């Protein structure tokens, strides 16, 4: 069942550019059988059609409208009337220095989310992978932050960071860190950090669960053999464990990137992008443009920028994965 272990890497890459290699190899190996199993050439479309139709109506059509809107001036109050303005929306957002700040904030936020959640998630996974009493209970409880709804998390986070009475503010002051009179969330130097702590708190369990399951694929015989040879813990991790986890970690990182680019409720409810724009990510900017300034055209243009960034991340990560696969 080697195929099963390989499942994750094969799977994740297949939808993208790497799909060619994977599908090609399969065709070579199984071409004859496939024709016999698949029956009529229409069979795949039979399985595909319901979901495809669904996504076309509920995702693709609205998305294409957004593409069009990004070249128009359209207001939320009258979305049926659009004036074509060419690339004016794109020009105006890129001419605005605040938008460059938004891009930078988004970059910092996404990078920190990915590094923080994957790093800590790996640590927690390794910790929970060992033997200790009560392991099943610990594995269950540690996932709670992931299950908690974003709105509930934002509400408790705001209260815990309350500048006068929040338990975290009290704790910070007790250990000698003064977040300023207006507290963490209204401090331009600290607000993004507070949102990051909250986000990472929520993401770590997810990463840990995924990596924990990937850890089950680490061949114990190899670990034991290395121990017999006198290899240190770090060496074993580097040579055995890391090699098994690497592809999964790559995938989790892509997933965390996309989810973090999209994250809305948590930031909106905690700071609305303030103070002075220090937590304004692309999605917050998009929402504010569409629903506060009521400029659907500008919001759509911001959305397009976000989509292009996501595409770059995905394609880039697949190129890296491909190069790594070639090396190996």
Partner 1 sequence: MPASPSYRVRALSVLALFSVGAGSLAGCSSSPSGSTGDASAKPEAATITIAASTLGDPGRGPALQKLIDEYNASQDLVKVEPASVPYPTFGQTILTQMGGGEGPDLVRFDMPEFEAAASSGLLEPLENKIDAKKLNLIPGPDKYLTVDGHRYGVVFEDSNYGMYFNKDLVPTAPTTFDEFLKAAKDATKGDAFGLAFRQTQAEEAGVWQDIFNYVLGFGGNWSDGTKLTINSPKVVEGLKAYQQLYDANVIPKGADAATFRKMFTDGKIGMELNNGGYVSHVASTNPNLNFSVARIPFPVKKQGALLAPIVTNVNSKHKDADLDFINWLLQPAQQVKLQEVLGASSVATPTERSAASLQKFPFLPALDELTDTGVPQIVEGFGQYTPDIRHVVVTEVLAALQGQQDMNAAMEKAQKQAEDLVGK
Partner 2 sequence: MRSARLGVTARLIAVLVVLGLAIFPIYWMFVTALTPDENLFGATADLLPDLSRLGVFANALADGKVGRWLLNSFVIAAGTTALSIGLGIPLGYAMSRFTFRGKAAVGLTLLFTQMLPEALLVVPLFAVFRRFDLLNSLHGLILADTAFTLPVVALILKGAIDGVPRDLDEAARVDGGRPLTVLTRIILPLIAPATAAAAVIAFFSAWNEYVFAVTFVFDKSLQPASVGVASFIGEQDTSIQSIMAVALLFTLPAVAFYLFAQRYVVSGMTAGAVKG
Residues of the shown chain interacting with partner 1 in the complex, contacts defined by CB under 8 A = 17, 19-20, 23-24, 56, 60-62, 64-65, 68, 75-80, 158, 162-165, 180-183, 185-188, 269-277, 288, 291-294
* Binding segment (CB under 8 A) for partner 2, from list 89-97, 100-108, 179-187, 251-259: 251-259
Pick between residue 39 and residue 79 the one whose CB is nearest to partner 1.
79
Q: Of the candidates 195, 300, 305, 321, which one interacts with partner 2 according to CB under 8 A?
A: 300
**Of residues 241 and 295, the one with the C-beta less far from partner 1:** 295
Residues with Cβ within 8 Å of residue 86, at least 6 apart in sequence: 71
Q: How many CB atoms lie within 10 A of CB 146?
A: 15
Site size for partner 2 (CB under 8 A): 117
CA–CA dist 225, 137 (Å, integer) = 31
List the interface residues with partner 2, window 3-62 (CB under 8 A).
Answer: 3-4, 6-8, 10-12, 14-16, 19-20, 23, 27, 30, 33-34, 36-39, 41, 43-48, 50-52, 54-55, 57-62
Q: How far is the CB of 271 from partner 1 (least distance, A)?
A: 6
List helix spans (H) across the chain. 2-13, 19-38, 43-55, 61-69, 88-95, 97-129, 135-141, 144-147, 150-160, 167-174, 191-215, 220-228, 233-236, 242-262, 265-270, 282-287, 296-327
- Residue 242 interacts with, from partner 2, partner 1, none (CB under 5-8 Å by kind): none
Q: Is 321 in the site for partner 2 (CB under 8 A)?
A: no
Interaction between residue 188 and partner 2 (CB under 8 A): no
222, with CB counted inside 10 A (0-12, 13-18, 19+), is middle
| CB nearer partner 1, residue 62 or residue 232 | 62
Q: Closest approach of Cβ 251 to partner 1, in Å? A: 21
**How would DSSP label each residue in 21-61?**
HHHHHHHHHHHHHHHHHH-STTHHHHHHHHHHHHHIIIIIH
For the chain, give the number of residues. Answer: 328
């Amino acid at each position: 069942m080697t195929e099963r272990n390989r499942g994750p890497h094969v799977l994740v890459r297949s939808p993208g550019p790497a799909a060619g290699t994977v599908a090609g190899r399969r065709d070579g190996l199984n071409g004859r059988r496939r024709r016999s199993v698949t029956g009529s050439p229409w069979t795949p479309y039979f399985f595909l059609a319901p979901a495809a139709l669904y996504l076309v109506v509920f995702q693709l059509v609205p998305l294409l409208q957004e593409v069009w809107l990004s070249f128009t001036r359209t207001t939320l109050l009258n979305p049926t009337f659009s004036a074509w303005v060419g690339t004016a929306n794109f020009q105006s957002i890129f001419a605005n220095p605040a938008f460059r700040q938004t891009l930078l904030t988004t970059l910092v936020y996404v990078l920190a989310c990915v590094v923080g959640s994957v790093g800590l998630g790996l640590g927690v996974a390794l910790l929970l992978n060992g033997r200790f009493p009560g392991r099943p209970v610990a594995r269950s409880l540690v996932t709670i932050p992931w299950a908690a709804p974003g709105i509930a998390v934002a509400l408790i986070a705001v209260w815990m960071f309350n500048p006068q009475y929040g338990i975290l503010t009290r704790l910070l002051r007790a250990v000698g860190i003064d977040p300023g009179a207006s507290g963490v969330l209204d401090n331009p130097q600290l607000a993004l950090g507070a949102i990051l702590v909250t986000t990472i708190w929520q993401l770590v369990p997810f990463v840990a669960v995924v990596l924990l399951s990937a850890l089950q694929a680490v061949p114990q015989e190899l670990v034991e053999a290395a121990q017999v040879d006198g290899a240190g813990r770090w060496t074993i991790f580097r040579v055995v464990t890391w090699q098994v986890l690497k592809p999964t970690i790559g995938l989790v990182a892509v997933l965390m990137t996309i989810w973090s680019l999209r994250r809305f409720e948590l930031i909106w409810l905690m700071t609305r992008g303030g103070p002075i724009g220090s937590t304004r990510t692309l999605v917050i900017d998009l929402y504010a443009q569409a629903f506060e300034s009521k400029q659907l055209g500008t919001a759509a243009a911001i959305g397009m920028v976000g989509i292009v960034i996501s595409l770059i991340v995905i394609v880039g990560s697949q190129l890296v994965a491909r190069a790594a696969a070639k090396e190996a």
